[in-house]
Every structure is written in C-alpha cells, then in structure tokens.
Amino acid sequence: MNVIIVGCGRVGTELAYRLFQKGHQVAVIDQVAAAFSNLSADFRGHTVQGEALATDVLRRAGIEQADGLAAVTNSDSLNAVVAHVARTVYHVPQVVVRNYHPRWRALHEAFGLQVVSSTSWGAARIEELLYPAFARSVFSAGNGEVEIYELVVPEAWHGRTLQDLLHAGQCLAVALTRAGKAVLPSSEERLEVGDILHLSSTMAGIETLRERLKAPQGR
C-alpha cells in the first residue's frame, strides 16, 4: 500500500514508522525540514519538504499513485483542505484526518471525512476510567461516542431479563456468553450470575446502567 502522511509531528512520526514496519510504501510531507529528524533512524520511507497544498509537493509524494492519505498536522483547516483535495481531485481511496481542536471537528464532518479526534476520544476515555470499574471498554467507535463494553453479570441481577437491565436506544446487547458459548441474546433472555455481556452503549447509556446496577432489585 502506498500511503502519504501530511505532518511529521508526534502522530505523523508514529504512524509513518508503524506503516513502514509493516512493509508499506510511506511518504511524509512537512513544510519544516527539521521535522523529519523525529523519524526513527531506520525509517526508509520518502520525505518531502514543502507546503502540502502545493501541487508539485503532492506529486513528489506520489499522490497520483496513493492508496491512502492521512492529514495529521496541528492545523484543522489544513488537514481538512488537504484531505478534501486528495479525495476529490486525486481520488485517493482511503483518506483520514486528525482533528486537533474539538471546536473544529464540524469542519471535517462537513467535508464528509473520516475523522480521528484524539482530544475528544481521550477526554471521554479518561472520564470513563475515573468512575469505579464495573464494565470495561473493549472497543471504541468513532471518537468514543459509542463503545463496546464487557460486563460480568453480578449476583443481584440473576434471573432478571435484558429488558430489565438495558435502556432502550442507549444501550444494546451485542452478545451473551455463558459457559464459553456466545449467543445473540433476545430482550427476554434471563441472566445468570457469571454471564459475560458485551454491550454497545453511549456514555449516557452506560451511566444509566451503572445506576441500575446500584439500585435495589425491585426498582
């Protein structure tokens, strides 16, 4: 796979090296030549100094043959425009942008781009970890708006149904594992102590579930 990375800061450096180690052809663009010193000594990808929006810079990086482009500078506007050009002018199949400031995330979404917001995701994850543990996140979709949680059913919920436990629209059962066998559970499924539930939930949904687990069984 031929990949172009725009921005050779911490994220760009780490991404470039990870892709290079997996055998991909990697080109890194940055307007500051000194930024390339961040790359590992054994990195053998292509480096291109210059403005990422300049046609000659993009062509020297191999934009016309690129399978993917990641715009990961600390400028949200630059990331959005470079990614938009890559997708609409050069028809790069896979384009991803880094959202640096959450306030500007709507800019990327307006272009219909795949967005990774480390700030939004990181804040959501830290908030989650601050609460007493009762379920652990095993997968995060988007920027943490929806996550997959793993929960071991406590004794207090033995014999109750998923319909009793879950808040419709905010928390959905993905799988139930009992004695090592996983099934797609129905809302009438009665739980047993030690069952492992995988739930797809928003932050609001998991908070509601946390409160329900604290409440007496009759409520």
DSSP 65: G
Residue 3 CB burial class (10 angstroms; 0-12, 13-18, ≥19): buried
Q: Is the model more confident about 70 or about 147?
A: 70
CATH of the domain at 18: 3.40.50.720
For residue 96, give Cα distances in angstroms to 69, 83, 92, 105, 134: 6, 7, 10, 13, 33
At residue 138, the pLDDT reads 84
At residue 219, the pLDDT reads 45
The whole-model pTM stands at: 0.68
At residue 168, the pLDDT reads 65
Reply yes or no on whether the pLDDT at 29 is more than 60. Answer: yes
**pLDDT tens, residue by residue, 11-25:** 999 999 999 999 999
CATH of the domain at 168: 3.30.70.1450
Mean of the pLDDT values across residues 77-96?
95
* Share of residues in the chain with pLDDT > 90 (%): 54
Are 78 and 154 in the same domain? Answer: no
Q: How confident is the model at residue 70 (pLDDT cuts 50, 70, 90)?
A: very high
Are 49 and 92 in the same domain? Answer: yes
At residue 19, the pLDDT reads 97
Are 73 and 108 in the same domain? Answer: yes
* Helices and strands: H and E segment counts in the chain: 7, 11
**pLDDT tens, residue by residue, 93-138:** 999 999 888 888 877 778 888 888 888 778 877 876 676 667 788 8
Reply yes or no on whether the pLDDT at 191 is more than 70. Answer: yes
Residue 61 CB burial class (10 angstroms; 0-12, 13-18, ≥19): buried
**Sheet with 2-6, side-by-side order of all strands:** 46-49, 25-30, 2-6, 68-71, 94-98, 114-116
* Structural domain for 200, as ranges: 131-214
Evaluate whether residue 124 is within a structural domain: no
CA-atom Rg of the chain in angstroms:
22
At residue 131, the pLDDT reads 65
Evaluate whether residue 11 is within a structural domain: yes
Are 144 and 110 in the same domain? Answer: no
Are 52 and 109 in the same domain? Answer: yes
Residue type, 136: R
Mean of the pLDDT values across residues 42-53?
96
Are 177 and 100 in the same domain? Answer: no
Are 58 and 94 in the same domain? Answer: yes
Evaluate whether residue 111 is within a structural domain: yes
**pLDDT tens, residue by residue, 126-177:** 876 676 667 788 888 877 788 898 888 888 888 989 888 886 678 889 999 9
> How many domains, in total, are found in the chain?
2
Are 76 and 181 in the same domain? Answer: no
Evaluate whether residue 202 is within a structural domain: yes
Evaluate whether residue 123 is within a structural domain: no
